[in-house]
């Protein structure tokens, strides 16, 4: 465990022991689903969340949502005449996502 992770864990445990984490809004409820954050680093995820709360979604998030819809359409089209077209759509959206992700990484340095 890295130093900052250990520090974070220690502070969380200390706050728990003092009772500072009791009675908070949302206590006992599951965390909101944010599957788009599963594949990006924590700093970028926080930036995306701030932008989303301000009503400005990053291109990557929009494309990830489009990809999920394309994958769902592909699953529905399996075994039909539209399967190849649906598969091509998934591939096209995946390529756009890869380009957007690479552009962000280059921009962020």
Averaged pLDDT, 16-37? 79
Query: Whose structure tokens read 């690479």?
Result: 102
Q: What residue ranges do the domains of the chain occupy?
A: 1-30, 35-108
Contact between residue 24 and residue 65 where contact means Cβ atoms under 8 Å apart: no
* pTM metric for this prediction: 0.54
pLDDT tens digits for 31-69?
A: 767 665 566 677 777 877 787 788 887 788 889 999 999
CB 34, CB 42: distance < 8 Å: no
Is the alpha carbon torsion for 17, 29, 71, 79 positive or negative?
positive
**What pLDDT, on a 0 to 100 scale, did the predictor assign at position 94?**
96
């Amino acid at each position: 465990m890295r130093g900052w992770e250990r520090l974070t864990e220690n502070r969380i445990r200390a706050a728990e022991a003092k009772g500072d984490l009791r009675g908070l809004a949302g206590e006992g409820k599951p965390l909101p689903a944010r599957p788009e954050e599963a594949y990006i680093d924590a700093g970028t995820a926080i930036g995306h969340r701030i932008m989303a709360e301000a009503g400005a979604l990053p291109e990557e998030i929009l494309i990830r949502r489009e990809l999920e819809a394309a994958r769902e359409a592909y699953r529905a089209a399996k075994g039909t005449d539209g399967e190849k077209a649906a598969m091509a759509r998934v591939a096209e959206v995946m390529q756009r996502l890869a380009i957007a992700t690479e552009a962000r990484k280059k921009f962020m340095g």
